[in-house]
Homo-oligomer: A and B are copies of this chain.
């Protein structure tokens, strides 16, 4: 089959690091979140960081996973900087010890349907 299909645009070279996890039962998740917050605050290469806890997916569909973490980088090279950063490596060791399972996906995001733009400021009266 051909594929002369416009499948959206990459956001100017952005790169994302997605992690979904199931934590071990005895873990204080707030402490891990605080550690992640400190980590991304300390590493300039991380452009933005967002997380969430599943609220309503059926257990059959979420398969035990409960949390998602998404870091956004301006470019793939910045992700490489993050990966090799000593503070990231230090945190990874802590993180590995508190999770029961995880999936990682690293990808250039393609935005197909864009959020509506904010209205431009009103022009001053002529």
Query: How many A residues are at the interface, by size bracket?
Result: 35 or more
Instruction: Output the nearest chain B residue to A30 by Cβ-Cβ distance.
Output: B3
Instruction: Output the nearest chain B residue to A102 by Cβ-Cβ distance.
Output: B61
**Contact call A54/B1, Cβ cutoff below 8 A:** no
**Contact call A37/B7, Cβ cutoff below 8 A:** yes
**Shortest distance between the CB of A28 and any CB in chain B (Å):** 5
| Best-buried of A3, A102, A107 by chain B (most CB within 10 Å) | A107
A92-120 contacts to B, CB under 8 A, are: 102-116
A84 within 8 A of B: no
A50 vs B8: C-alpha distance when bound (angstroms): 9
**Contact call A57/B20, Cβ cutoff below 8 A:** no
